[in-house]
């Protein structure tokens, strides 16, 4: 009987184990979680998977053009208001500027509103209104004659935009700034979306690292062609690129010098290598250190005692011995002429007693477009205007201007120069050419006291040049256009 009980117990145990293991090995019955938890888990998983795939995809980046910019001034930046706090506790700063600087008296009793996109502020009464638009790094004001650009500029910090006004020439300190600007082509060659981060780009110079920044606005950009072109370019921002998608745009870095061979651009840890960048540096050096008197037949300086720039001088004269000082304008520009003004204007300023501190402003902007197959259309005098048009093999316009004082073209190792009023150059095709554009401003306003009133007189010198170099970096075409203004 005991033996029989043992058999029964054994059978029961085996049957129980069989049921237990069949439940583990067979189909599971899962109790579903609430919908919200399921959706959240799926979404987070998909997001992490997509972002992980995106992060691993490195874009193909190439440099299509490069710009190097120097500027100095002795202006003071006056804080006006914070864009995000208007309307609000910064409204008085805006209203004081409109009333005291722009002499708009009706704003005392005005109302202030802002659009939902945070882009436009409206100041208005029943009879009058002004619209103020945030436009990249500057501010536009719309009055009766439409939008106008004033000497306001924007500093962005931690997501807020502080608006500043420039007060011209009221201090001895010279503020010098350098920028390196890259025009980049960015392409996603991968099979998954790519998340391009602007702050992933960094510029290295030795042991120094420079992060991306915004170009400050230039009040004279409409007269300086290099800056005008950069203003029109697309500014790179964070974006997602689909497989095969590409974009072009510029990115700027605040650096410590003009262009340098040791500049090294990286996206995260990947070096942006470009043989054309090395060619760019060589083209810039060839254009910067060329003596343009050889090709143009014109001395570099136009003195105050000269009638025009057709004679001029090889040496500048700066005479501050009388209240109406002698000024010297530039007929054309290269590195040595830039360095003359860069050194002399601050030195002259330091010798003036307060409150008669002169105003000095300088901009020296270089842009190089390397290794393009280009076509220069025939340049002739038509309808009192001459036009220089240079395109590459894709049809992109490299140079398009009617501002020409004269041109020089190299043929049989000899330069032929023609002034604007007798231009007649045939078209030409150039393979593997580089184009260097140079813009220059050297402004110096001397102040004087007359009958208890402070006045000003001085020089505003603007130069725009286009230089075309062949594959061996010989300068074969030069276009120049000086604008020489006597202030006061």
What are the tokens at 145? 């004659």
172 within 8 A of 74, measured Cβ to Cβ: yes
Give the number of other Cβ atoms within 10 Å of residue 240's Cβ: 11
d(CA 77, CA 177): 14
- Strand ranges across the sheet with 424-425: 385-386, 379-382, 424-425
Which residues are CB-contacts of 453 (< 8 A; sequence separation ≥ 6)? none
Write down the pLDDT at residue 358.
87
Instruction: Give the residues across from 249 on adjacent strands.
Output: 184
Q: Give the whole-angstrom CA distance, residue 151 versus residue 476.
A: 39
> Is residue 180 a contact partner of residue 272, using CB atoms and an 8 Å limit?
no
- Token digits for 354? 């307060």
Q: What are the CA-CA distances from residue 306 to residues 162, 326, 418, 484 (Å)?
A: 46, 11, 21, 12
pLDDT at 458: 82
The DSSP code for 59 is: P
- Judge residue 283's burial from the number of C-beta atoms within 10 Å of its C-beta, 0-12 exposed, 13-18 middle, 19 or more buried: buried
Q: How many CB atoms lie within 10 A of CB 244?
A: 10
Ordered by where they begin, the domains of the chain are: 51-69+172-284 (2.60.40.1240), 76-167 (3.30.457), 290-487 (no CATH)
Gap between the Cα atoms of 202 and 154, Å rounded: 23
Check: CB of residue 368 under 8 Å from CB of residue 65.
yes
pLDDT of residue 66: 96
User: Which residues are paired to 302 by β-bridges?
Assistant: 329
Pairing of strands 453-469, 428-450: antiparallel
On the CB side of 138, CA atoms within 13 Å amount to 16
Q: Which of 483, 469, 68, 421 is nearest to 295 (CA)?
A: 469
151, 47 contact by CB (below 8 A): no
345 phi and psi angles, rounded to 5 deg: -60, -45
Distance CA 33, CA 39 (A): 10
Q: Which helix (H) or strand (E) holds 279?
A: helix 275-288
What's the pLDDT score for residue 353?
Answer: 81
This prediction has a pTM of 0.76
Q: Would you state the pLDDT for residue 44?
A: 34
Cβ within 8 Å of residue 98, ≥6 positions away: 104, 107, 123, 130
Please report, for residues 131, 137, 158, 394, 426, the alpha-carbon distance to residue 146 in angstroms, rounded to integers and kept in the order given: 9, 19, 31, 36, 42
- Strands, E assignment, 29-169: 60-73, 76-82, 111-114, 120-124, 129-135, 138-143, 146-157, 160-167
Q: Which residues of the chain have pLDDT under 50?
A: 1-55, 308-310, 323
What distance in Å separates the CA atoms of residue 123 and residue 30, rounded to the nearest whole number? 63
């Amino acid at each position: 009987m005991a033996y029989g009980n043992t058999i029964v117990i054994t059978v029961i145990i085996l049957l129980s184990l069989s049921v237990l293991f069949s439940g583990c090995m067979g189909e599971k019955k899962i109790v579903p979680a609430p919908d919200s938890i399921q959706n959240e888990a799926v979404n987070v998983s998909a997001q992490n998977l997509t972002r992980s795939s995106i992060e691993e995809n490195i874009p193909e980046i190439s440099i299509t053009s490069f710009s190097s910019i120097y500027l100095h001034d002795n202006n003071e930046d006056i804080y006006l208001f914070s864009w995000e706090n208007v309307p609000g506790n910064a409204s008085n700063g805006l209203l004081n500027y409109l009333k005291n600087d722009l002499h708009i008296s009706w704003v005392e009793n005005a109302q202030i509103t802002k659009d939902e996109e945070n882009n436009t502020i409206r100041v208005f009464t029943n009879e009058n209104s002004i619209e103020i638009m945030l436009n990249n790094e500057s501010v536009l004001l719309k009055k009766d004659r439409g939008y106008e650009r004033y000497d306001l500029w924007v500093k962005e910090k931690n997501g807020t935009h502080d608006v500043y006004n420039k007060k011209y020439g009221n201090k001895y300190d010279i503020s010098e700034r350098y920028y390196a600007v890259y025009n980049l082509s960015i392409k996603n060659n991968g099979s998954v979306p790519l998340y391009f981060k602007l702050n992933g780009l960094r510029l290295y110079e030795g042991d120094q690292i420079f992060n991306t920044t915004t170009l400050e606005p230039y009040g004279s950009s409409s007269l300086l062609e290099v800056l005008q072109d950069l203003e029109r370019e697309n500014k790179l921002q964070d974006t997602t690129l689909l497989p095969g998608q590409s974009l072009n745009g510029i990115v700027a870095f605040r650096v410590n010098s003009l262009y340098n061979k040791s500049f090294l651009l990286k996206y995260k840890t990947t070096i942006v290598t470009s043989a054309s960048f090395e060619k760019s540096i060589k083209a810039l050096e060839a254009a910067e250190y060329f003596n343009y008197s050889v090709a143009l037949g014109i001395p570099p300086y136009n003195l105050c005692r000269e009638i025009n720039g057709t004679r001029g001088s090889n040496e500048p004269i700066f005479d501050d011995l009388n209240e109406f000082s002698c000024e010297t304008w530039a007929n054309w520009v290269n590195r040595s002429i830039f360095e003359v003004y860069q050194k002399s204007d601050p030195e002259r300023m330091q010798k003036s007693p307060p409150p008669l501190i002169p105003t000095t402003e300088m901009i020296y902007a270089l842009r190089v477009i390397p290794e393009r197959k280009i076509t220069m259309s025939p340049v002739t005098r038509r309808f009192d205007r001459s036009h220089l048009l240079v395109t590459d093999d894709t049809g992109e316009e490299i140079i398009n201007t009617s501002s020409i004082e004269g041109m020089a073209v190299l043929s049989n190792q000899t330069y032929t120069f023609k002034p604007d009023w007798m231009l007649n150059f045939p078209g030409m095709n150039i393979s593997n050419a580089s184009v260097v554009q140079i813009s220059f401003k050297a402004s110096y306003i001397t102040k004087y006291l007359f009958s208890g009133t402070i006045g000003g007189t001085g020089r505003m010198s603007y130069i725009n040049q286009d230089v075309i170099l062949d594959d061996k970096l010989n300068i074969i075409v030069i276009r120049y256009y000086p604008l020489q203004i006597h202030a006061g």
